[in-house]
Every structure is written in structure tokens, then in C-alpha cells.
Amino acid sequence: MTGDPDKPGDSRFEDITPAERLASEAPEPKVQTEEASILKGVDLEDLCDATEKAIEDGGGFGWLRMPPRETLERYWQGVLANPVRRLFVARLDGVIAGSAQLIKPTRNNEAQAFAAQLMSAFIAPWARGYGLARRLTETVEIAAKAEGIAVLKLDVRETQQAAIRLYDSMGYHRYAIDPVYARVGGRFVRGYCYAKVLDPAVSVTWAPTPQ
């Protein structure tokens, strides 16, 4: 950068504080996604921290009340141990800030072997807005395709507007509405069921989007 920020009359620096100037010169946060096959030490703690923050915020993929920390640790270890689930994590500047799971069809379910479920996607509130969820979804899609999955399905509460915009923008089609999807504070919340065709050889004629 050229110019002297302390020089009076340099219009580029007139209206910003030193803190704002530092922020504007800071490097872009680093966004990464990857599959997690083990969660060691700080990674497990970071994932639990992110989960707690998401639960506090009200988007804790199912949990409505905060579980004890040991329950969360056991939950994540259970996900890793489950042969039907694959866990993908998102990192912001190296810190795990959220995750998503790819649920593969069980071996007996030959009739639905073409489809998998993207479940329990979340990003901790402090890491939102950096493109982590979009990147994570793309990473899960690539992994699903590599497994020969032709259709990826997911569902969201109708109140999860950010997620709805995300999946709408990524080519997911809302094919059904579940009127008894979740119960929060004693009231039912509708769920939107989405699907995306990953295999270009598969052609689907969708009914009009249910509202």
C-alpha cells in the first residue's frame, strides 16, 4: 500500500479508526473442509465447542437442551464409529467450526442404494458467513458421487431460513413438506424435504414445489 495514513488530507484513511484499518489489512480467514476419520485432542474439543454454540443459538441439529459435555464427546465418537456415517468438518483458520454427515444406505436397502442423506449440517455462529457451509456441502456431494450415490437428500426445519437459501441456491429441489417434522417448545414445526440429483444420467420430473 502506498500513501501515508497519518498524513492529513489522505482521503483513503480519513474516516477509519486504527482498529478498522488493521481489520481491513488483515488476511482473509482460511476456509477448509475435509473428512474426519479420527478426532484427536483439540479437534474433538473444538467440535464440541462448536456444537454447544450451535445448540445455544437454537440450530443444534436436534438437540433442544444442552447435553453434558461427555454426552457430546460420546456422540461424536459414535458418529466416527458408525460404518454408515461419514463425518465432514469445516475449519475456519484451522479451528473446527462445524460439520455435516453423509448417511449412506444400509447394505440391505438395495432398493434405495442410489440415495444418501446429508444430515446434521451446522456451522457455529462465530464462523458463519464465510462460505463454510457451501464448501462443506460441496465436499459431501463430491464424496457421495464417488460412492456412486445418484441422489442426495436432506431436510430442514422451515424456520432455518439460511439453510433453505443455501440449499435452494445449490440446486436442491424441495419435493415434500413434513407437517410433523420437529416439535420445539411443544409446537410442531414443518420440515422441508430436499433432494439433488448428482448423477447427470438420472432425469427426474419434479412436481411443483410444495409451499
Residues in binding contact with ligand COA, number by CB under 6 A: 21
Binding mask 52-81 for ligand COA (x = CB under 6 A): --x----x-x--------------------
Closest approach, Cβ 189 to ligand COA, in A, equals: 12
C-alpha span between 91 and 126 (Å, rounded)? 12
Q: Own/partner pairs for 155-159, CB < 8 Å, 24+ apart?
A: 155/181, 155/191, 155/192, 155/193, 155/194, 156/191, 156/192, 156/194, 157/181, 157/182, 157/184, 157/189, 157/190, 157/191, 157/192, 158/189, 158/190, 158/191, 158/192, 159/189
Closest approach, Cβ 75 to ligand COA, in A, equals: 15
Binding mask 15-34 for ligand COA (x = CB under 6 A): --------------------
Query: For residue 143, what is its C-alpha cell?
Result: 464424496
Nearer to ligand COA, 137 or 198 (CB): 137
Closest approach, Cβ 117 to ligand COA, in A, equals: 11
Nearer to ligand COA, 115 or 118 (CB): 118
Nearer to ligand COA, 105 or 125 (CB): 125
**Of 44-52, 101-109, 164-172, 202-210, which segment contacts ligand COA by CB under 6 A?**
164-172
Residue from 115, 163, 195, 198 binding ligand COA (CB under 6 A): 163
**Residue entry with cell 460412492:** 147
Half-sphere exposure of 200 (CA within 13 A, CB side): 0
Strands (E), the chain: 31-35, 85-92, 95-103, 115-123, 151-157, 173-184, 187-197
C-alpha span between 43 and 41 (Å, rounded)? 6
Residues in 80-139 that interact with ligand COA by CB under 6 A: 121-123, 128-134
Binding site for ligand COA (CB under 6 A): 54, 59, 61, 121-123, 128-134, 156, 160-163, 165-166, 169
